[in-house]
Every structure is written in C-alpha cells, then in structure tokens.
C-alpha cells in the first residue's frame, strides 16, 4: 500500500498547508499581543523589567517543556484531533489576560497561552511536512512565515486597538481564536484520514544519511547552540526593544510599537526565504549566513541613532530569521522518523531559551541599563562560527528512511 508521502510527493496539498500556516499566524498574533502590551502592564501594575521577564519566562517555559514531550508521544501515537485544543487554550489565556486584575493572574494567562503553543507546534509542523509534497524547506518556511507574520502584526494591533482602548479590549481577539478552532478541526479530519496508510507501510520518501550516532548527537548540540545565540538575541527584541526605544530615544509608545513591527516584518520575510533557499543550496550554507551574517549589524545597533537603529533592524531580522526553518529541516534529516520529536524539541527549545533568557536580561536591565543589554547581546551571533563543525550536504545523503 502506498504511503501518504508517496501519494502526494509530486502534489503539495496547498489547502492543508495554507490552513496550518493561517492558524500559525493566528496563534502567534495572539502571543505577540501579550508581549506587545508589556508597556501597558508595566504602567498598570508598576512592574520591574525583571517581572516582565518572568511573564515571558512563564509563557515560553510552559511551551518549551511540553512541546518535545508532545512531539515524542505523537510520533508513536498521532493525535490529529488535538490540533483544535491549541487555539482553545490560547483563547483561554487571552480572556484571562483581558480581565486580569493582578500580577498572578497575568502569569496564569501566560501559562495558558504557552500550553496552546505547546499543543499546536509539533502536530501542525508534522502536518506541514506531510502536505509538502517533498518540498520540505518550502513547507517549513511557509509554516514559519505564518507565525512570523502573526508576531509582526501583534505590535500594530496593540498600537491601534489595545493602547487606545485598554487591556480589556484583548477580549475582541477571541473571535480569531475561535476561527482557528474551526480551521484546525478540518485539518484534523484530513490528517486523520491519512494516518492509516501512513502507519501501515514503511515510508520511503524521507532520505536517511550515513552519519554515526556520535556525529548526529554533536550536530544536534551545535544546532541547539546556534539556536541559543539566535533566540537570546531575539528575546531581547521581543521583550525589551520597545523599552529600549522609549527609554533611550524618548519615543512614544505607539511609535515604538510601529518600529517593532518593522523588525518583525523583516523577520517574517527572512523566514520565508530561508527554507526554499536551503532546498536549493543546502541547509548548512543558509545556517552559516543566517547566524554569522547578522553579526556586523548587531554590533553596530547599540551605538546607532534612532534612524539607523530602525534601519539596522531590517537586515538583522532578515538574516537571523532565515536560520530557523533550515535548522528544523536539517535536524529532521538527522533523525528521520522523529519529525514530531524534532519539531517539538526545536520549537520547545526556542521558546525555552527565549523565556529563560528574558529573566536575566530583565535583571541586567534593572541593574545597568537597557542599552547595556543590547550591547551584551550584540556579540551572540558570533556563536555562528560553530556551523563549521556541521556535516556538509554530501554527508547528509544516504538511503531512504522513515520521515
């Protein structure tokens, strides 16, 4: 019996791929709204930068702990109808945040949003791979760009809707969470229909490799180190860039949100470019450029004036964003047959690094300055030099294996 991967290898299922991409956009828009209203929360609850970092940590760490566990479990026992639960938890978190009256309630809301992300990413990433028709980099980039577009929309929606109307206006965004529940219910039905053929014969479309277990382990550790450099730096932006603009340049809150959108918009474009380019020239080449290539711009940013700060965020976002899709697909090729676990591990690690780093960055800002935080983070892309130790494309070729 033909597997689902064989049957759609030459025919990408765009309806499904677009559906999970749109839901990724919705998921990350709602997450970004929580991050974008930090200035409101700081003023309303007299929060320190460290307390803001703890909100980020609760959200990200909740997601990071659960995602690889969910991915590992669903590699063995797929749960197609778990997909609609993800926006349901996110909806709960948004509603809790809209009506929160204490710092503790904000933390509970952040945890609920984190659980929604933990449920969504492993299975949705697997669905994107199944629907890719073999164009794994393209599918992963399209899926990722949905999330990055959502993240970039968050600050704009916060500036245009939440800042003028207050924290309670978050409740209006529950409508798009409900829409995601409906869309993912349909995706779950499609996914369920393809499970039996997928699991009753050996898949032959994924390509294995000739690497030993030690080389695989070393490669995964290097990828995680590269993710550390990328996501600690991006965490400084998601949590503290608006405060940097407000405190360092005396920019109004609304303008700071728009400048954050510029960075996040560039990040979304870079995400989409990274996967298809990796399909053509190889994942390692994209990883090289996407981490180390940002270094000159990150080093210059803390010393730039407002105009050049905004300008520099564009190449930083473009270059850094191209890494993640390439790293996820590269890791999936290192461990064929563990798509859910790898997706959960990498998404979870990304969330965990971003969340855990927000707290020390917040404490550092409280005891020094926001400017000093960006100076410290500017050297992180130098960790991209570790890419030299990753196996090249020729060593990643081997015999067909389970995807």
pLDDT value at position 288? 83
Q: Report the distance separating Cα 210 and Cα 342, nearest Å.
A: 19
pLDDT value at position 167? 86
Phi, psi torsion values for 206, nearest 5 degrees: -80, 145
pLDDT value at position 185? 93
pLDDT value at position 5? 43
Q: How confident is the model at residue 147 (pLDDT cuts 50, 70, 90)?
A: confident
Phi, psi torsion values for 70, nearest 5 degrees: -65, -45
| Homologous superfamily (CATH) for 12-396 | MFS general substrate transporter like domains (1.20.1250.20)
Mean pLDDT lowest among 2-16, 19-33, 247-261, 352-366: 2-16
pLDDT at 91 over 90: yes
Across 166-184, average pLDDT: 92
Q: Report the distance separating Cα 221 and Cα 216, nearest Å.
A: 9
pLDDT in tens, 378-394: 999 998 888 888 887 55
Q: What string of H, E and C letters represents the secondary structure of the chain?
A: CCCHHHHCCCCCCHHHHHHHHHHHHHHHHHHHHHHHCHHHHHHHHCCCHHHHHHHHHHHHHHHHHHHHHHHHHHHHCCCHHHCCHHHHHHHHHHHHHHCCCCHHHHHHHHHHHHHHHHHHHHHHHHHHHHCCCCCHHHHHHHHHHHHHHHHHHHHHHHHHHHHHHCHHHHHHHHHHHHHHHHHHHHHHHHHHHHHHHHHCCCCCCEECCCCCHHHHHHHHHHHHHHHHHHHHHHHHHHHHHHHHHHHHHCCCHHHHHHHHHHHHHHHHHHHHHHHHHHHHHCHHHHHHHHHHCCHHHHHHHHHCCHHHHHHHHHHHHHHHHHHHHHHHHHHHHHCCCCHHHHHHHHHHHHHHHHHHHHHHHHHHHHHCCHHHHHHHHCCHHHHHHHHHHCCCHHHHCCCEECC
Average pLDDT, the chain: 82
Across 133-149, average pLDDT: 78
pLDDT value at position 78? 81
Q: Report the percentage of the chain scoring pLDDT > 70.
A: 85
pLDDT in tens, 205-248: 444 556 778 888 888 889 888 888 888 898 888 788 999 999 99
Q: Report the distance separating Cα 300 and Cα 93, nearest Å.
A: 38
First to last CA, the chain: 17
pLDDT in tens, 23-48: 999 998 998 888 778 888 888 888 88
Q: How confident is the model at residue 340 (pLDDT cuts 50, 70, 90)?
A: low
Across 360-366, average pLDDT: 90
pLDDT in tens, 248-301: 999 998 899 889 889 988 887 887 776 677 667 777 888 888 878 899 999 999
Across 130-142, average pLDDT: 78
Per-residue burial over 289-299, b = 16 or more CB atoms within 10 Å of its CB, e = otherwise = bbbbbbbebbe
pLDDT value at position 24? 92
pTM attached to this predicted model: 0.66
Phi, psi torsion values for 77, nearest 5 degrees: -135, 85
pLDDT value at position 261? 87
pLDDT value at position 200? 40
């Amino acid at each position: 019996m033909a597997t689902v991967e064989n049957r759609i290898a030459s025919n990408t299922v765009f309806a499904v791929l677009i559906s999970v991409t749109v839901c990724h956009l919705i998921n990350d828009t709602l997450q970004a709204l929580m991050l974008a209203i930090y200035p409101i929360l700081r003023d309303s609850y007299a929060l320190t930068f460290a307390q803001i970092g703890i909100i980020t940590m609760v959200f990200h760490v909740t997601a990071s702990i659960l995602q690889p566990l969910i991915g590992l479990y669903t590699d063995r026992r797929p749960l197609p109808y778990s997909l609609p639960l993800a926006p349901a938890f996110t909806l709960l978190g948004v509603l809790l945040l809209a009506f929160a009256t204490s710092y503790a309630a904000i933390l509970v809301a952040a945890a609920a949003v984190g659980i929604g992300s933990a449920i969504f990413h492993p299975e949705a990433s697997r669905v994107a791979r199944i629907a890719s028709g073999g164009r794994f980099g393209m599918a992963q980039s399209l899926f990722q760009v949905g999330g990055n577009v959502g993240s970039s929309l968050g600050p704009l929606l916060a500036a245009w809707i939440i800042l003028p109307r207050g924290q309670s206006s978050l409740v209006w965004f529950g409508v798009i969470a409900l829409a995601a529940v409906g869309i993912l219910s349909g995706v779950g039905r499609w996914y369920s229909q393809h499970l039996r053929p997928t699991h009753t014969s050996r898949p032959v479309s994924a390509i294995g490799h000739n690497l030993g277990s030690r080389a695989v382990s070393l490669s995964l550790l290097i990828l995680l180190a590269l993710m550390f450099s990328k996501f600690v730096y991006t965490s400084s932006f998601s949590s503290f860039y608006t405060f940097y603009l407000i405190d360092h340049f005396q920019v109004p809150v609304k303008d700071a949100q728009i400048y954050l959108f510029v960075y996040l918009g560039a990040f979304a474009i870079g995400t989409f470019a990274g996967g298809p380019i990796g399909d053509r020239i190889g994942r390692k080449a994209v990883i090289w450029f996407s981490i180390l290539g940002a270094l000159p711009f990150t080093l210059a940013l803390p010393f730039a004036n407002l105009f050049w700060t905004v300008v520099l965020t564009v190449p930083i976002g473009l270059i850094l964003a191209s890494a993640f899709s390439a790293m996820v697909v590269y890791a999936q090729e290192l461990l064929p047959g563990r798509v859910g676990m790898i997706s959960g591990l990498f998404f979870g690690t990304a969330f965990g690094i971003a969340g855990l780093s927000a707290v020390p960055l917040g404490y550092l800002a409280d005891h020094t300055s926001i400017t000093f935080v960006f100076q410290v983070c500017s050297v992180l892309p130098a960790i991209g030099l570790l890419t030299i130790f990753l196996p090249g494309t020729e060593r990643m070729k081997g015999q067909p294996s389970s995807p």
